[in-house]
Structure 1
């Protein structure tokens, strides 16, 4: 069953953000609410992949995680997440790196990720959200790598837009041996980024002319207790 959690921002931590670092917004809040619905992270070893400002890492640590590893490839994001963690004295280890670095510090009980997922076919690419022509240049390696990142019985929560291919994500996770389902969804108006990408989305037949909303979904992936 899928749910659409109330996005009450008053329940979420406010974080510092350097210029050029992804600002927590509707997809971030939807993922945080889904984490709360999943039972939080008490005593868990958590990975926040593509951490940005560290919003989800802070959320997990405040929910009682035993430890949190936060990863991003952008130096400003790493600095921002470290500032947010240290100012709260939370058990968050913020590192610069990709999936190879994540694997070195795993496995994890919980993996969270709000990766770049906006489809874009142009030269002026912003790594905060642009993720190639189909929006999957980060998602696909993450889906393929999750079985090695999760402990037996662990789970992951990933958020992305309907334009990125919800069915493709579910199929890819299941092909990797994980249980997968949509656990939260919300329809939101286009922000400035998607408005600027509207022409490409039309050309890719992802939206109709004049369409100005997207459905954002949270997908849960579970590794069995046997690890298979």
Structure 2
């Protein structure tokens, strides 16, 4: 599998891109961060829509290269920075006005058969491993008045995300909902407990085809005027 296919944007990435295009004022002049750029299309869109600066933090060296290649191709490298590292550990004390992410969040320890890197999609038995880490760090790096936008699979249990955000002084709300095909190789890797719990409640089957619902979730400060 070549580098282009390795980081091909998913339906989740496409949903984030649509969100950004529909809310350009939230991007313009922002200090933006993308956690896990992958192909680089979201980071490039942030800059194309007028972000003051955009930082991408990526665990995979190949993804850093893919993102840099796209930024160079589109002439958007001037206000861009890329760091290879594990999430917030490379951020220092930086704060951001806009944070965008499509984290690994599939309810599996490892996904066989997609040709992707081991860290690409699997989020542990309940899918929350990276999501919880992201939320904990977000409270230290989201600027006053800032906004984070994240993809959020239905089986992550939005109530858990709300409770965690609340404990950190943040608030989470669903901006809108979408659905994506659930390939057979992913279905085979999914936690049996999660599959049983959410079939018919966010995971749907029609004939031989499976689909999974997901949300775009906005996270912001609870008490901006405090």
Question: TM-score, normalised on structure 2?
Answer: 0.83
Unaligned runs of 5+ in 2: none
Q: Distance in 2 between matches of 1:202 and 1:43?
A: 41
1:78 to 59, 64, 83: 64
Deviates more, 1:85-94 or 1:208-217: 208-217
Residues 126, 191 of structure 2: 8 Å contact kept = no
Instruction: Quote how far apart the aligned CAs of 1:122 are.
Output: 5.2
Instruction: Quote how far apart the aligned CAs of 1:207 are.
Output: 2.4
Deviates more, 1:43-52 or 1:199-208: 199-208
Residues 21, 128 of structure 1: 8 Å contact kept = no
1:98 — aligned with what? 86
Asked whether 1:25 is paired with 2:10, we answer yes
Asked whether 1:174 is paired with 2:160, we answer no
Q: Give the SS at the match of 2:161.
A: helix
Q: In the TM superposition, what are the counterparts of 1:68-217 in structure 2 within 5 Å?
A: 68-90=54-76, 91-104=79-92, 106-121=94-109, 126-197=118-189, 200=192, 205-207=197-199, 211=205, 212-217=210-215
Instruction: Quote how far apart the aligned CAs of 1:170 are.
Output: 2.0
1:65 — aligned with what? 51
Asked whether 1:43 is paired with 2:29, we answer yes
Q: Distance in 1 between matches of 2:222 and 2:94?
A: 17
Q: Distance in 1 between matches of 2:38 and 2:31?
A: 19
Instruction: Quote how far apart the aligned CAs of 1:85 are.
Output: 1.1
Unaligned runs of 5+ in 1: 1-16
Residues 44 and 129 (structure 1), Cα distance of their counterparts in 2 relative to 1, 3 Å cut? same
Q: Give the SS at the match of 1:138.
A: helix
Residues 196 and 153 (structure 1), Cα distance of their counterparts in 2 relative to 1, 3 Å cut? same
Q: Distance in 2 between matches of 1:227 and 1:69?
A: 28
1:13 — aligned with what? none
Q: Give the SS at the match of 1:104.
A: coil
1:21-60 CA-to-partner distances (Å, cap 9, x unmatched) read 3321211111122223333411111000011111110111
Residues 100 and 107 (structure 1), Cα distance of their counterparts in 2 relative to 1, 3 Å cut? same
Q: Give the SS at the match of 2:91.
A: helix
Instruction: Quote how far apart the aligned CAs of 1:199 are.
Output: 6.9
Instruction: Quote how far apart the aligned CAs of 1:184 are.
Output: 1.4
